[in-house]
Chains A and B, each alone.
Chain A
Amino acid sequence: MDSTADDKREWPLFEIFIRARGGLDHKHVGSLHATDARMAIEHARDLYTRREEGVSIWAVRSVDIVASDPEDAESLFEPARDKIYRHPTFYQIPDEVKTL
């Protein structure tokens, strides 16, 4: 089978991010296929907000996401392991602050 021909037929993949309510971040919820940006938003609405999950949608073409290489995980992430002092666990959080 000619895989390049198949790739052409396949609609581009989009990653979908939904904001559950005002004040919260957009969270990645999944991905879907769409031919263009408008369709990506409509599909995201139909697939991921059927039960009032959100008030805002971001759609990003998956190919536009730059990802770290799993091979680099050791050098990228392990050096942080013994830096316990970077965790802000030594602070008293005031009661009034709700969203930390």
Chain B
Amino acid sequence: MKAAPPVEAAPVEAPQIGAPQAAPPLFRYLLRLGDLSLVLGQRLGEWVGHAPVLEEDLGLANIALDLIGQARLLLAYAGEIEGRGRGEDDLAFLREHAEYLNPTLAEQPNGDFGETIVRQVLIDAFQLELYERLASSSDGRVAAIAAKAVKETRYHLRYSSGWLVRLGDGTAESRARVQAALERLWPYTGELCEEDELDREMAERGVAPRLAEVRDGWSRRIDEILAEARLERPRDRPRTWFGKRGEHSEHLGYMLAEMQYMQRAYPGAQW
């Protein structure tokens, strides 16, 4: 038997696949918040140049920029907490899809304008309830970011709910389309306020609110908006995704491939 050729390769560090469970809990929690804003902001950005009218093009882009601004603050802080020298750009552009911890709803494709609006209402109401409470977080930095974000989010919900009412209480066609979008997206909402160990730990440390509280506030807001829009609230169905733990739908990978292309092709590129 011949001796095996000498192996020169240095021990390769196994790539981290999946959510880094060993990472500090606050780091993972910040990724949940930051990734939600980042992924939704990227989705809204896809409308730029394609919105039904120029005014909406700018309206959606403004919201996208607010969201990406929130993501920058949250991911920069996450990087500091992690303490491995990763900045906001490293976290945004160099993580795999399974390391993204946004709720799956955020990554759902834009569909038509009505479907984008439905997704936006569902998430705006959630972020509003969440940020209002995070503004009094025991973590001063989280509280400051939330206090800024809550003002932006109040406007986002005003914009999106206004549109949902127009479309829901509009023509037969617009009503049918947004009702169908609501049915399609509703199963993804279960995850938003479903508390797991990480949410519980954050709540016990006073960093985050109890998600049950957020759920009540969210549910009330959604009921009010749906009533005004004359839409029917779909029945709750068991979830099959859990993006908050890195278990995503197939859509996120494609979205990240486009979003991360430049940094992957030209590492460290700046503009």
Contact = CB atoms under 8 A, between A and B. Distances in A.
B175 to A, nearest CB: 15
Interface in A16-59: 32-36, 38-39, 42-43, 45-47, 50
A38 B162 contact: yes
Interface stretch (B34-42, B54-62, B121-129): B54-62
Interface residues of A, number: 14
Interface string B152-163: 000100110010
Interface string B114-139: 00000000000000000000000000
A50 B53 contact: no
B55 A33 contact: yes
A50 B166 CA distance: 25
B53 A46 contact: no
A42 B158 contact: yes
Interface string B134-173: 0000000000000000000001001100100010000000
Nearest to A38: B162
A34 B55 contact: yes
A11 B56 CA distance: 12
B270 to A, nearest CB: 25
Contacts of B53: 11, 33
Contacts of B55: 32-34, 43, 46-47
Contacts of A11: 53
B68 to A, nearest CB: 15
A46 B62 contact: yes
Nearest to B165: A38
A34 B56 CA distance: 10
A43 B158 CA distance: 12
Instruction: Please indicate which of the listed interface residues A11, A46, A47 has the most CB atoms of chain B within 10 Å of its own CB.
Output: A46
Nearest to B166: A35
Given A11-B53, A33-B53, A47 B162 contact: no
A39 B165 CA distance: 12
Contacts of A36: 166
Contacts of B58: 43, 46-47
Contacts of B59: 42-43, 46
Contacts of B62: 46, 50
Interface of B: 53, 55, 58-59, 62, 155, 158-159, 162, 166
Given A38-B162, A46-B55, A46-B59, 17 more contacts: A32-B55, A33-B55, A36-B166, A39-B162, A42-B59, A42-B158, A42-B159, A42-B162, A43-B55, A43-B58, A43-B59, A45-B155, A46-B58, A46-B62, A47-B55, A47-B58, A50-B62
25 contacts: A11-B53, A32-B55, A33-B53, A33-B55, A34-B55, A35-B166, A36-B166, A38-B162, A39-B162, A39-B166, A42-B59, A42-B158, A42-B159, A42-B162, A43-B55, A43-B58, A43-B59, A45-B155, A46-B55, A46-B58, A46-B59, A46-B62, A47-B55, A47-B58, A50-B62
